[in-house]
Amino acid sequence: MYSMHICCVRTEQEDSRSNGGSSKRGKQKEGASGISCNMFRGSWVYDQSYPLYDSSTCPFLDPEFDCQRYGRPDKSYLKYRWKPDACELPRFNGLDLLRRWKGKKIMFVGDSISVNQWQSLVCMLHAAVPDAKTTYKKNDTLSTITFTDYGVSVIRYQSTYLVDIVEEPIGRVLRLDSIQSGAAWLGIDMLVFNTWHWWSHNGKKQPWDYVRDGDQVLKDMDRLVAFNKGLTTWAKWVDANINPAATKVFFQGISPTHYKGAEWGDKNAKNCYRQTQPVNGSTYPGGPVPAQGVVTSVLGAMSKPVYLLDITLLSQLRIDAHPSAYSGDHPGMDCSHWCLAGVPDTWNQILYAALL
């Protein structure tokens, strides 16, 4: 697995200041290009120069993420910048990314959280080159936005579980050992995978009737166990099919939800509605998400390098950044997805830093 520490060059003076004069660097390690730091540990700081783009000028944004357009009254949630504890996150440079990836394909594979990150990235790129020619081809499974001046295609591939749901005589079967759609992921220069949210859905929200685990067909099973088995199938597919010299592979970590105020220390909050500020500091009272352990374990056992975008904690702290009631025609209270501009922009800043 790629190290989760991304390099940031700092002077010894800067490093000393950030540690109160001490030279102790904690989880940092020093490399040939300077001091590395953990990009995923830090806190949110107010920054008047944010957001990185204006959602009203991005032509690719789905209504459910466009919170300002659909009546969100506050704007402070747009003004927060992620500050790692031991270094600065490089400012996103969309023109640089387009030039580096000229003629290449970037694909986000996963559920609607992948759509969130995909649309964030194309909005960030569009803001950098607002006059560049683009094409947009969209359907339920595969959507492609191409910056034609640079030959860069940013693609979304819908795959809720990464593994397959197959129609069988008994009904819709979630097959934990099958990835037929993997053929569509071959020949891509950068793959960013995501899955988790739908693994916990049940009842009418569950898009399958049975789950197949090897020779067993079950009405249900422990969802964390099922997630582990499905993700292991994906990991074996990557190990068998990906050439790291030609394709960079990322796994987007577990994106948290905010439906229980007690998790962030507010027993009076039923959900994320009317939350206007991040959680202070760099710890989340509710602790880690159990699925994080599955991801770490599966990725750690792989033979091919996969970079974990470990975005859970930084996203947990952003109780203020969901669409809540301001998500277009999306029904109900949305404390799962993220407003754009917003938190997924930081995920893409870290993705950009990793590519540097």
DSSP strand pairing (5-8 vs 29-31): unpaired
Count of Cβ atoms closer than 10 Å to residue 149 Cβ: 13
Which among 36, 55, 112, 255 is annotated as catalytic?
112
Find out whether 6 and 350 touch, Cβ atoms under 8 Å: yes
Which among 255, 334, 336, 345 is annotated as catalytic?
334
- Minimal CA–CA distance to 188: which of 116, 124, 249? 249
Sole residue written with tokens 């996969």: 306
Whether 200 is catalytic: no
Q: Output phi, psi for 297, to 5 deg.
A: -65, -45
Q: Where are the extended beta strands (E) located within 104-209?
A: 105-110, 134-138, 142-147, 152-158, 164-168, 171-175, 190-193
Whether 55 is catalytic: no
Which among 126, 258, 322, 337 is annotated as catalytic?
337
Q: Rg (Cα) of the chain, in Å, rounded? A: 20
Find out whether 188 and 155 touch, Cβ atoms under 8 Å: yes
Q: How many residues does the chain have?
A: 356
Contacts of 251 (CB under 8 A, 6+ apart): 192, 193, 194, 295, 299, 306, 307, 308, 309
Give, as one character, the DSSP assignment of residue 201: -
Query: How far does CA 285 lie from the centroid of its chain?
Result: 21
- Minimal CA–CA distance to 120: which of 275, 252, 246? 252
Report the alpha-carbon distance of residue 12 to residue 23 in Å, rounded: 8
Helix ranges, 219-340 (H): 223-241, 290-300, 312-316
Report the alpha-carbon distance of residue 260 to residue 282 in Å, rounded: 19
Find out whether 304 and 242 touch, Cβ atoms under 8 Å: yes
Whether 322 is catalytic: no
What residues are labeled active site?
112, 334, 337
